[in-house]
Structure 1
């Protein structure tokens, strides 16, 4: 009996030691996990967000939550941030992320995966800026061929009666603010890089025309803001029968337009007579954006001019686009210094209200409108209710890309 009791006691002791040992190892593992940061918190916000994007989307073609490779404007937006980040830090990890995208999406013949020129979608031009960068860096012929294909789309792209690019072939006679960002910075960079003399002058005249048309048809004199879309035909249900404009001001559309202005000016010739007009458009918009900045948070609402209306919310992508555009506008000398304070207040608002950091250091940007448009099927009518009820998600690239760019501008 004593032997049996001794065996039982010994077994209990061994079991206790094993349990304690497992518990200690588990606690040790948990502590190690706490100490291991995927994204270091001593980095600047631009790098923290870029590394977080790489954690979420190991391949750049996955940006915008794609499950298979697809040529898209969002990749060009985020990778522009990576390009600027690489220039600033010299860290190869950022360049390699861009290069892997180029190699995946452009084959040896210069064909762009999933791209279809016949759709005449102005959105498809934007990621061409990434190819311009890669061609400049590598000199690889395939990138040049792909760039030339995108440029050819602009030659044949359908236009309004006054020469404005349609947003898409499936959206006839329509110009959207989004389209200015999607097409014009690429068009301007291509022209500066490859065109000379009369051909270049003609192209820059055409680029200026796009902004002139949107100012003429979409700008509201009372607020200084620009409507999301304009339908020359007045046939769309969302279009005002007199003016052709959509009913509301959408912050991301305005953000696309603001970024288009500051980015096009990087390549627009100093001597061109329309350069001063583009700078004037930017100054007019800066006044209006300051008027509608939320005084408490420093952010901007989804429907820009209706902050107090039920259902409206402080939206991340438009806010980050405005911050980037204002800060860059000041740095480049297009805007008065006072707008840097507007940008800084907005940026602090993003950090205070829209940024969340996980235990592993991964950074999330919240309250991003996933998508909004006009027309289509199901039909998007451009009403207030439509804009405030579109899906909201975290880490949409239309927010994270501008956040990286804004962070670089403010060096935070």
Structure 2
């Protein structure tokens, strides 16, 4: 082979390889540069970028909501008593004649006679109405039927011996509004919805306690003597007023409506801050100043009270417009503090407190109910309610437990008390509100359409 020719071939090949390498590097650099070129206003529609929402954004379908509620139902049906047993033999009692001092409810995770369960009974009835699913109403009716069946026996026994043990002693001998109001309201709702059980003696007993035996201030405002004498608890609006309102509807007696409206007025005069649209949790008569801790769940009980009262209060009642205006003012105040996640904080106006589920669920229910009844502007408030439901739904775990709920809470006058209250999936306060919220959101979706318009959730206006 000619050596010179061989050398030229080698040089040509090396040159070709070098040129290919340069081309490869150049092309690769160009691709990489293009891949990592930051998007700007001329290269991409930035307004259409997908935000990194911490909770789902948009509208969940009624089917999705029902699926969430079904998980809650399954958990509660499994974990709450539905029958009586003899604590000595651990056998079910099916004959009322076999009731005794050793009769108890079967073991469950929640107390069937607590005010929280009064809310749950009402929530189950609401879901049944919104979805047509009978099992929810059956949950409530089955348990209230037990109350009805055994009340005569234990009423007689307790009259003879006040220390006689009874699984419904708290209901037969109430010692606080917590023992009476929410259960009473649920019983009246069940009765009005067609439950054929002898609940009237229990209802009358509850109302007698609320109207005549609960401690009140001289002007008739429902009050307690704890933690200080002559103390108003915002919670007591809910523990008293809805039962009075339902009794007014059941009997037609205006005195119950009058008392309910009086409570709203007198609590609001003392405890509602018209500047921020929030209620303080507690008011003590002897205090020269009244510290304002805007605890979320107590504000929830207040706003729920207002929608529950308006549901049955005759429009011609002289207090109707006052209650309506109070509801509108409170909702306007609440929505200013909704977190970007859709939740509200444990202390509403302190965003370094934790995000709390039960209050958020109650606000979801109350705002949705107010929209559905025409009390507030649906174009303004619907997106707020739907975002709140999306937040709440993230707290229903796969077992159907409601997470992020503050446990039972007394009254405090320092921030640490509220900041560090524990949360627990067995805090009963979360379950009824979630059921009520889901039911009302389903109703909202039945009568309205929504769309994503310019990336935001909007009420769809029909032409």
Distance in structure 2 (CA, Å) of the matches to 1:171 and 1:57: 35
- Summarize the alignment of residues 5-154 of structure 1 with structure 2, pairs less than 5 Å apart: 43-59=66-82, 65-66=109-110, 71-106=113-148, 107-109=150-152, 111=155, 112-115=168-171, 117=173, 119-136=175-192, 137-141=194-198, 143-154=199-210
**Is residue 324 of structure 1 aligned with residue 365 of structure 2?**
yes
Q: CA deviation at 1:204?
A: 1.6
Q: Is the 8 A contact 2:271 2:283 kept in 1?
A: yes
Residue number in structure 2 paired with 1:14 = none
Contact 1:373 1:382 in 2 (8 A): no
Structure 1 pair 164–48 and aligned structure 2 pair: CA distance change class (3 A): same
- Aligned counterpart, 1:299: 343
Native 8 Å contact 2:81 2:112 kept in 1: no
The answer (yes or no) to whether the contact 1:369–1:392 under 8 Å persists in 2 is yes
Q: What is aligned with 2:312?
A: 267
Deviation at 1:249, TM superposition (A): 0.6
Note the C-alpha offset of 1:346. 1.4
Q: 2:400 aligns with which of 330, 338, 363?
A: 363
Distance 1:57 1:297 in 2: 31
Q: Following TM superposition, by how much is the alpha carbon of 1:212 offset from its aligned partner in structure 2, in angstroms?
A: 0.6
SS in 2 for 1:391: coil
- CA gap 1:289/1:108 in 2 versus in 1, 3 angstroms: closer
Question: 1:117-196 counterparts in 2 under 5 A?
Answer: 117=173, 119-136=175-192, 137-141=194-198, 143-156=199-212, 157-167=214-224, 172-196=229-253
* Pair 63,259 (structure 1): closer, same or farther in 2 beyond 3 Å: farther
Structure 2: gaps spanning 5 or more residues: 1-62, 84-104, 156-167, 446-463
The Cα of 1:220 is off from its aligned counterpart by 1.8
Shift of 1:113: 3.3
Larger radius of gyration: 2
Does residue 231 of structure 1 match 2:284?
yes
- Does residue 390 (structure 1) correspond to residue 421 (structure 2)? The answer is yes
- The counterpart of 1:406, out of the listed 422, 431, 437, is 437
Change in Cα spacing, 1:168 to 1:139, as seen in structure 2 (3 Å) is: farther
With over 3 angstroms needed to count, the CA separation of the structure-2 counterparts of 1:64 and 1:207, relative to structure 1, is farther
Separation of aligned partners in 2, 1:410 and 1:118: 34
Tell me the CA shift for residue 340 of structure 1.
1.3
What's the Cα RMSD here? 2.6
Gap regions ≥5 residues in structure 1: 1-39, 235-240, 375-380
1:210-359 to 2 correspondences below 5 Å: 210-232=263-285, 234=286, 241-243=287-289, 245-294=290-339, 296-307=340-351, 309=352, 312-337=353-378, 338-352=380-394, 354-357=395-398
- Kept in 2: contact 1:228–1:246 (CA 8 A): no
CA drift at 1:169: 7.8
Q: Would you say how many aligned residue pairs link Structure 1 and Structure 2? A: 343
Q: TM-score, normalised by structure 2?
A: 0.68
